[in-house]
Structure formats: structure tokens, C-alpha cells
Amino acid sequence: FKTSSFYPCDKISKWPKPPLGGPRLAGLSAFGMGGTNAHVVLEEFELSSSEAKLNVKQPYRPWLIMVSGRTHRSFLQNLQRLSTALSKEDMPMGSVSRTLLCGRRQCSEFRWTGAFTSCKEAAKALDSAAHSAQTTIPSSHGGQDSVPSIKIVYLFSGQGSQYLGMASGLYNMFPRFKSAVDECSATLGYNPLSLPDSKSPPITSSRWAQVAVFVVSYATSQLLESLGVRPSAAVGHSAGEYACAVACGVMELHDALRMVDRRGKLMDEMEEGGMLA
């Protein structure tokens, strides 16, 4: 059309980006023989800033891949199809994982999961799983009601599980974990997960370990909740009891932080002794 920037596409051709930037747009018109006309404007898909971060290649980060099926046959087919697709194209693992977890209906009858850093690695494991499924005789299920439900229980550990640099990977990788740790740090007035310097108490001291274990436990529970994990029960030991109480809604976070912080100080001031268990 000489008087506009529109033109009919009558052959396969390259579709350049607009000179001034922005997504590509196209008009699609269908003229029905009965007089019904339909007009649709198509816009190029562009990743949002959060989605762009999700697709950044991170070879050190494993992504969860889940495949399921209502019947053994459909389960086997899903394994084979996904293995073929991932072996042909190097797709962003973050997008693959999210699509399988959030964009597919999960079935309880037959399930397979794995954590991988690349499509090639995942495709190889899927192919192996498909071969195993072919030679496995499935047990008969009497329908959905016969499949036992899976109950999740949180176990919050106490002092003794801490180590230098613990949870640094989770802190740098997951925004929800980071925000939970930062929330605790703001309440305490210091970051209990920062590496102790020469003037700080040693990592084995209760002064540092009690709060650090609590914060990691609390932040982990918040991360799991953001991923859709809901526990049926929770138990805790020592500093983990406070994290358990907060996770279950028995205690407020700021109250638990002040108690654990004070608890660590008091325990650190006690004389060293011996204990037999």
C-alpha cells in the first residue's frame, strides 16, 4: 500500500525489527465467504526483565525436570518426546523447567524427576529413563484414589550444622531466599551469614551459630513456600525449634530473632563444660 507502511506478505521473507525499536507487529485478516471478517493484530513476544534473568545461562545451577503420566504408555511417550526435543535444540533450562512444572498437569500414577544443568544432560537421562520404563512392568493401580498421598515434613536442625559460607549459593540464586535473609538482617542490625572476620566470634561459637542456623532455616522455609511446597507437619531441634515455630505461625519473626540472638549471647557467656549423650 503506497500510502502507508503496510504491505501484504505474499511470500516467505525476512521480517526485520522496526527501525525505531520495539516489538514487531503484523495484521492478520480473514475474509469469510459468508461475509464474516476477522482481523487480528499479532505482536512479537519479548521476554520481561525477570524472564530474561531466568534464561541467563548458569552452568552451575541445576534445574528440576519432571515428567509424569496417567498410564504407563503415556508416561513412556512423554519421556521419549521430551528426550527427543531436548536433544535437538539447546533451550534455556529455566524455561523448560518452568513449563514442565507450571504449564503441565502433574499426574501421580507415574512420575520421574531429575535436576540438570543443560539440555544435553537432561536428554541423556530422559533417554535412559525411557529405556528403563520400557523394561519395567508397571504395577496396577485401582484409579487415582489408590495412589497414596505424599506428606511433607520439615525438620529444622540446631547448632552444629553451620559452616563458613553456608547458603551463599541460595542467597545469590533465589530472590525469595535473599529477601528473607535481608529481612532478618534488618531486624538484627547485622548479617549473620556474612563471613566472620578476625574480630568476630568463631563459627563454632553459639553467639554466631545460633542466629545463623535460625536465619538459614527460616529463609529456606520461605523459599520452599514460594515454590509451592506446603508441609503437613514440622519439627525442630534447638535453634531449629524457633524456626519451626515461625514457619508454623506460632511465633512472629521479629520475636524469634530477638530470642535466638539473646539465647546465643547467653550460651556463649557460659563456662565450657562437658556433656554425654
Query: Beta strand pairing status for 110-116 and 63-69?
Result: antiparallel
- Dihedral of CA atoms 107, 110, 114, 119 in degrees, nearest 10, equals -80
Contact 220, 170 (CB under 8 A): yes
pTM here is 0.59
**pLDDT at position 276, please?**
52
**pLDDT at position 215, please?**
93
Burial 167-205 (b: 16+ CB within 10 A, else e): beebbeebeebbebbebbbeebeebbbeeeeeeeeeeee
DSSP secondary-structure letter at 200? S
The dotted CATH code for 153-269 is 3.40.366.10
**pLDDT at position 156, please?**
92
**pLDDT at position 36, please?**
86
Contact 236, 221 (CB under 8 A): no
**pLDDT at position 275, please?**
56
Nearest to 24 by CA among 33, 13, 38: 13
**pLDDT at position 202, please?**
59
How far is residue 30 from each of residues 13, 51, 108, 130, measured CA to CA in Å?
A: 21, 33, 43, 44
Low-confidence stretches of the chain (pLDDT beneath 70) = 47-60, 137-150, 195-204, 273-277
Domain borders along the chain are: 63-135, 153-269
**pLDDT at position 62, please?**
82
Contact 26, 39 (CB under 8 A): no
Query: Beta strand pairing status for 233-236 and 153-156?
Result: parallel
- For residues 23 and 12, what is the distance between their CA atoms, to the nearest angstrom? 19
Q: Residue 198 has which C-alpha cell?
A: 578476625
Contact 238, 158 (CB under 8 A): yes
**pLDDT at position 193, please?**
81
The string of DSSP codes covering 14-74 is --PPPTT-S--EEEEEEE-TTS-EEEEEEE-----HHHHHHTS--TT--EEEEEEESSHHH
Tell me which amino acid residue 257 is: L
